[in-house]
Amino acid sequence: MADAHALALDRAVVVIGAGTMGAGIAEVAAVAGHRVYLCDTSEAALDRGRAQIRASLDRRVAKGKASAEDAASAFARVIAAGPSAPLQGVGLVIEAIVENLDIKVAALTEMARRVDDDAILSTNTSSLSVTALAARLPAPERVAGLHFFNPATILPLVEVVRGHATDPALVETLVATARAWKKTPVVCQSTPGFIVNRVARPFYGEALRLLLEQQTTPETVDAVMRECGGFRMGPCELMDLIGHDVNFAVTRSVWQAFFHDPRYQPSLVQQQLVDAGWLGRKSGRGFYDYRDDAPRPDVRDLQGPAPAKVRIEGALGPAHGLVALLEQAGLNVEKTEGAGLLRVDGVALALTDGRSAGARSQALGEPVVLFDLALDYAASKRIALSAAEGTPADVIAQAAGLFTALGKQVSLLGDAAGLAVSRTVAMLVNEAADAVQQGIASEADIDAAMTGGVNYPIGPLAWGRRVGLDYVAAVLAHLSQGYGEDRYRVSPWLQARAREVSHG
């Protein structure tokens, strides 16, 4: 294992576990040209696994992604192997069974006796410690994580996880092998949640906190995160798709593994859904009702009059894209020096900086309506606003009218510090920054993991640099001050780079 070449095609791959994930991984390896031993203690599971692979290959042929001959050859390379089946020329073992450390250790210990001494032993675990697993196996230097994402045949990302004792050359071999299998490998240390399941926690956590504080509704926060933040799915609909039992279990696992760090604290909102058995799509109810006769969720939009005059007071920072939109819309726009505000017929609007609208209004000495961060103000279909309690309805309507004149739908949240997109993006950037600071993974691999593994529109660190790391740090600092919680502490890595920006 001294070179960084991919696993040779004449070396077989063993996949332990013939469930959905195991069958998917087996198909990936077989399509790449390897002989694959699909192993399971259940003959029925092996039959189902091979049937899944055949059906998937047939779909590839139907879509023109593979010839019938290539599909047949790949399927022929998948060999169902029971507990006593002979295994020949094995170079790589991938375990893909239940998330239980003792069971995984037992399966890999037994497999290590059946394969050659130079075979790599890997686990597809999404949450367990690769270091702890490897320590209980005969040769921990031969052990690594090889975490595919479901469905393994479609999603490109593979997290290559190095345990404390993992041979660095083995990691290089797994990276090269993943690339040869047409996957996108990222390398990380064995740490709770690895990259994706760690960095993604705020995407769920901040939405759950907004719901706990009754600042919004599931349908509204989902619409804002999709149509303003650019995410493919909103957090509530995604949790419903994943299953609240699964998502809640991962959150609890990460929280416990980080010794109850408040950044990963589970939510009572999700706990109640799990207790009620409202697990999402699979149970028929979650945040949304999926029963046949259920009404479709409705997002209420705010309307307002078209503005007569707009004044741009100073630089708008991450919201600078609004300037061109205002001019293109043919509005009466005036530019002056100032503190980075918009005035719409006298009404003050400002991009959220992590303070509540109440706090901003008090600081300015007049009512201020806040608007949310957008991935791309030109492309976004929706914007979120917030205002302090008691703000006159006509003031809010004037603010809404500005964005409806730009062709946006408008959602009104409660007086939520950081609104929805801004606080979520800030926390995602912060989590990624801490992962870099702690040597978990490189900046490039973290961004690749979040775009390739969970389909984020842009990597969190690239997003932070786009809007300004000083802006992100300021949002977090204001959230921390407002909540008085360590949950929103600013990463040292982010603090240092924000200072570089501000002093540059």
Q: Which SS3 state, helix, strand or coil, does residue 173 take?
A: helix
**Is a pLDDT exceeding 80 seen at residue 156?**
yes
Q: Across residues 194-199, what is the average pLDDT?
A: 96
- Which two tokens mark 225? 């995160």
Grade residue 501 by pLDDT with cuts at 50, 70 and 90: confident
User: Contact, 429 vs 443, CB < 8 A?
Assistant: no
Residue 495's CB is within 10 A of a number of other CB atoms, namely: 18
Tell me, what amino acid is at 235? P
Q: Across residues 411-436, what is the average pLDDT?
A: 98
Out of 197, 253, 380, 422, the active site residue is 197
Residue 334's CB is within 10 A of a number of other CB atoms, namely: 10
The span from the CA of 239 to the CA of 203, in Å, is: 10
Please state whether 330 falls in left (phi above 0), alpha (psi between -120 and 50) or beta.
left
Task: Give catalytic status of residue 237 as yes or no.
Answer: no
Q: What is the DSSP letter of 284?
A: T
For 70-128, what is each residue's pLDDT tens digit? 999 999 999 999 998 999 999 999 999 999 999 999 999 999 999 999 999 999 998 89
**Is a pLDDT exceeding 70 seen at residue 133?**
yes
**Is a pLDDT exceeding 60 seen at residue 1?**
no
The set of residues, in sequence order, having a beta carbon less than 8 Å from that of 183 and lying 6+ positions away, is 28, 148, 156, 157, 158
**Is a pLDDT exceeding 90 seen at residue 308?**
yes
User: Contact, 58 vs 67, CB < 8 A?
Assistant: no
For 198-212, what is each residue's pLDDT tens digit? 999 999 999 999 999
Q: Across residues 430-454, what is the average pLDDT?
A: 97
User: Contact, 214 vs 221, CB < 8 A?
Assistant: no
Tell me, what amino acid is at 28? V
Out of 159, 172, 206, 219, the active site residue is 159
Residue 132's CB is within 10 A of a number of other CB atoms, namely: 13
For 28-55, what is each residue's pLDDT tens digit? 999 999 999 999 999 999 999 999 999 9
Q: What is the DSSP letter of 475?
A: H
Q: Across residues 436-442, what is the average pLDDT?
A: 97
Out of 34, 95, 122, 147, the active site residue is 147
Out of 126, 247, 356, 491, the active site residue is 126
Q: Between vectors from CA 158 to CA 157 and to CA 164, what angle results, nearest 5°?
A: 145
For 340-399, what is each residue's pLDDT tens digit? 999 999 999 999 999 999 999 999 999 999 999 999 999 999 999 999 999 999 999 999
Task: Give catalytic status of residue 455 as yes or no.
Answer: no
Task: Give catalytic status of residue 260 as yes or no.
Answer: no
In sequence order, what E strands does 262-346 have?
Answer: 310-313, 333-336, 341-344
Q: Please report the pLDDT score of residue 468 as a whole number.
A: 96
Quick one: what percent of the chain has pLDDT higher than 70?
99
Q: Please report the pLDDT score of residue 502 as a whole number.
A: 64
Grade residue 504 by pLDDT with cuts at 50, 70 and 90: low
pTM: 0.94
Grade residue 186 by pLDDT with cuts at 50, 70 and 90: very high
- What is the average pLDDT value for the chain, to the nearest integer? 95
The span from the CA of 72 to the CA of 69, in Å, is: 5
Question: What kind and span of H or E run contains 14?
Answer: strand 12-16
Task: Give catalytic status of residue 197 as yes or no.
Answer: yes
The span from the CA of 198 to the CA of 435, in Å, is: 9
Burial grade of 277 (CB within 10 A; 0-12, 13-18, 19 or more): exposed
